[in-house]
């Protein structure tokens, strides 16, 4: 037996991990909001144990800090082109200097320019089609934190402090759709906080 057995087990494990990494869906839902509204209240039944993660997949990807690096987006948007045309980050990502979120603009916002600009482009036609249907473009999230990190990131103080967008989001002049080029783990945040002599109190971000 010996080495053959262990080789097989290792191979199996390796296959599993590879499969998880490649196939894991981006985590969207908050695992805590699980109740279905249609049936009798969850409250009225006795406690049923549910895990913190909704599946083993999600637990493992969370633990291994696996993120989709460059997910496919419904529209082949290119940051490169827009930035080259003189737009600045905050022109579309409105509110990034006022609050926690840098919002992705809605389809109505895109159409303010694209009802006239480059209307023959098939991708623009797709956008127009969404707008005509009253539907938002279903962008796939690139930047988020795992819910189990219980971290709240607030853009506004960073922008006010003069942190460049590229520090965390990479050089967008080289990107089409967003790519997670920078490894945004806690060490990255703490390192910069230490350099700039900003508080590293846990509750500043985890509350």
Interface residues with another protein (CB under 8 A)?
1, 5, 8-9, 12-13, 16, 19-20, 23-25, 28-37, 40-52, 55-57, 94-95, 98-101, 103, 106-108, 131, 134-136, 138, 147-152, 154, 156-157, 160, 199, 201-204, 206-207
170 backbone dihedrals φ, ψ, rounded to 5°: 80, 175
The residue among 37 and 85 lying less far from another protein, judged by its C-beta, is: 37
User: Smallest gap, in angstroms, from Cβ of residue 38 to another protein?
Assistant: 9
User: Smallest gap, in angstroms, from Cβ of residue 148 to another protein?
Assistant: 6
The residue among 83 and 149 lying less far from another protein, judged by its C-beta, is: 149
Nearest to 60 by CA among 146, 186, 141: 146
The residue among 109 and 180 lying less far from another protein, judged by its C-beta, is: 109
The residue among 36 and 195 lying less far from another protein, judged by its C-beta, is: 36
Region class of 162: left (phi > 0), else alpha (psi between -120 and 50), else beta: left
Q: Which two tokens stand for residue 202?
A: 């846990």
- Range 29-50 burial, b when 16+ CB lie within 10 A, else e: eebeeeeeeeeeeeeeeeeeee
User: Smallest gap, in angstroms, from Cβ of residue 97 to another protein?
Assistant: 9
DSSP secondary-structure letter at 105?
Answer: P
């Amino acid at each position: 037996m010996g080495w053959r057995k262990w080789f097989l087990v290792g191979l199996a494990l390796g296959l599993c991990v590879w499969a998880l990494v490649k196939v894991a869906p981006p985590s969207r839902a908050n695992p805590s909001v699980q109740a279905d509204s249609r049936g009798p209240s969850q409250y009225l039944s006795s406690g049923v144990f549910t895990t913190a993660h909704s599946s083993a997949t999600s637990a493992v990807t969370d633990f291994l800090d696996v993120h989709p690096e460059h997910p496919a987006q419904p529209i082949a948007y290119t940051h490169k082109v827009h930035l080259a045309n003189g737009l600045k980050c905050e022109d579309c990502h409105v509110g990034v200097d006022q609050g926690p979120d840098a919002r992705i603009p809605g389809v109505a916002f895109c159409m303010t320019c694209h009802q006239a600009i480059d209307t023959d482009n098939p991708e623009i036609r797709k956008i127009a089609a969404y707008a005509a249907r009253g539907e938002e473009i279903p962008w796939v999230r690139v930047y988020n934190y795992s819910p189990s990190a219980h971290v709240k990131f607030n853009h506004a103080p960073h922008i006010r402090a003069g942190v460049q967008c590229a520090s965390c989001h990479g050089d967008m002049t080289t990107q089409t759709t967003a790519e997670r080029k920078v490894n945004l783990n806690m060490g990255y945040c703490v390192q910069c906080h230490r350099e700039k002599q900003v508080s590293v109190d846990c509750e500043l971000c985890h509350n």
